[in-house]
A = this chain, B = another copy of it.
Amino acid sequence: MMKGKLVMHTIKDVAKIAGVSTSTVSRALSGNIPVNDDTKKRVLDAVKQLNYKPNFLAKGLKEGRSNAIGLIIPDIRNPIFPALARGVEDTARSNGFNVIFSNSDENIENEINSVNMLKNRWVDGFIFATASLDCQHIHQLREENIPVVLMVRNIEESFDAVVTNNFEASYNAVKYLIDRGLKKIAIINGRLSLSLYRERYEGYKKALEDHGIDFSEEICFNCSMANGNCYEVVKNYFSTHRDVDGVFATNDSKAIEAIRAIKDVGLRVPTDISVIGFDDIQISALLDPQLTTVAQPLYDMGKLAVEKLIKIINEKSKRKKKPQIDVVKSELVIRNSTI
């Protein structure tokens, strides 16, 4: 078996060159154990000379941790996840953790498979941005004392989580439309099995109520399927109705489809109909018209989730803290899709 020119050196090689034992090398490198300055220097020189890098597999095996975290999301192609993932990766890396990521497609089987694979000492903890009602496997993780933080999508009070103020932000978005003089505001909703959509829905209803606007089921569009049908639903409605003057879409993708549908029936945005989205995905600022939307601090949410997770991982005293749900603020960004 031919090996490459440069082999991977081990701690033994370093020890030999520095003329010390492997334990001394280990100590010199770990930093927090006293080592004679001279010895240390010799070790460091040897390390440099050999370009020695410790084997993380060995270190992890010995220490019982891997310094990696698992990131489980539905699909990185869903435009809210890149920013989230980036926040996670940056923060993890700057804390010395690697990120192993996995897409579940909202499919519980996939998710369980990934979790099972990663549980075997691959990762020290998990970040989930996924939540079916069926979260047996996440409860199981907790029982096995494996740290878990939920992100974006919350399940129940019993998990640590980072979420946004969906209710309040939605309330404010709808209130903004009302303040601009709009009289009849539709909502395009998502899967109500996700708490985030339920909360946005509640915010919408409360805003109407507080401002004396009648709530009407008829203009609560539900686009819970794949993206395609949102366009159809909106187009259908507006080809026969001209009474609605505002649309609150519970995410930007739906808003984009709605705008296309509205244009296609010959109405103008925002002149005839104002549209607000939610998420502020990257392209929202590039559209025509540029989308007024609720900006979630996605990057920061990822960052915060990792910070929480690492804190839990490092709490060696495993006395379970009460789980804490961090709520970050989403804020309305006013652009040109609203009058």
Do A86 and B93 touch across chains, with their CB atoms under 8 A apart? no
B55 x A318 contact (CB < 8 A): no
Given contacts A2-B318, A143-B4, contact A101 B101 (CB under 8 A): yes
Q: Which of B6, B116, B263 contacts A143 (CB 8 A)?
A: B6
> Cβ of A103 and Cβ of B86 under 8 Å apart?
yes
Q: How far is the CB of A296 from chain B (nearest CB, A)?
A: 14
Separation in Å of the A58 CB from the closest CB of chain B?
5
A120 CB contact (under 8 Å) in B53, B120, B283: B53
> 1/0 contact trace for A85-102 toward B, CB 8 Å?
110011001000011111
Contact B68 A76 (CB under 8 A): no
Contacts of A98 in B (CB 8 A): 100, 102, 117-118, 122
Chain B residues near A318: list those with CB within 8 A: 1-4
Cα(A2)–Cα(B103), bound, Å: 33
Interface core residue of A2, A55, A57 (most chain B CB under 10 Å):
A57
Flag whether A160 is at the interface (Cβ < 8 A). Answer: no
Cα(A8)–Cα(B181), bound, Å: 61
The one of B66, B90, B116 that contacts A57, using a Cβ cutoff of 8 Å = B66
Quick one: CB contact mask for A312-326 with B, threshold 8 Å, 1 for yes?
000011110000000
Stretch from A196-204, A218-226, A237-245, A254-262 at the B interface: A254-262
A251 to B287, CA, bound (A): 16
**A54 within 8 A of partner (CB):** yes
A101 and B99 form a contact (CB under 8 A): yes
**Contacts A81-B82, A83-B77, A100-B99; is A256 near B286 (CB within 8 Å)?**
yes
Closest to A123 in B: B98
Flag whether A61 is at the interface (Cβ < 8 A): yes
Residues of A within 8 A of B (CB): 1-6, 8, 53-58, 60-61, 66, 68, 75-77, 79, 81-83, 85-86, 89-90, 93, 98-103, 114, 116-122, 143-146, 253, 256-257, 259-260, 263, 282-283, 286-288, 316-319
CB-based contact B288/A79 at 8 Å: no
Which of B53, B66, B144 makes the CB contact (< 8 A) with A116? B53
Report B-chain residues with C-beta under 8 Å of the C-beta of A253: 286
Report how many copies the assembly holds. Answer: 2
Cα distance A316–B75 in the bound complex, in angstroms: 34
Assembly CA distance A173 to B316 (angstroms): 59
Select which of B68, B102, B263 is within 8 A of A288 by beta carbon. Answer: B263
Given contacts A6-B145, A76-B76, contact A61 B68 (CB under 8 A): no
Min CB distance, A151 to chain B, in Å? 15
- A61 to B59 Cα, complex, angstroms: 10
> For residue A82, which residues in chain B have a CB less than 8 angstroms away from its CB?
76-77, 81-82
Contact at A5–B145, with CB atoms within 8 Å?
yes
> Are B54 and A120 within 8 A (Cβ)?
yes
Task: Say whether, besides A57-B57, A318-B1, A77 and B282 are in contact (CB < 8 Å).
Answer: yes
- Report chain B residues within 8 Å CB of A75: 86
For the complex, what is the distance from the CA of A272 to the CA of B179, rounded to whole Å? 39
- Name which residue of chain B comes closest to A55, CB basis: B121
Residues of B within 8 A of A56 (CB): 120-122
Q: Is the CB of A4 within 8 A of B117?
A: no
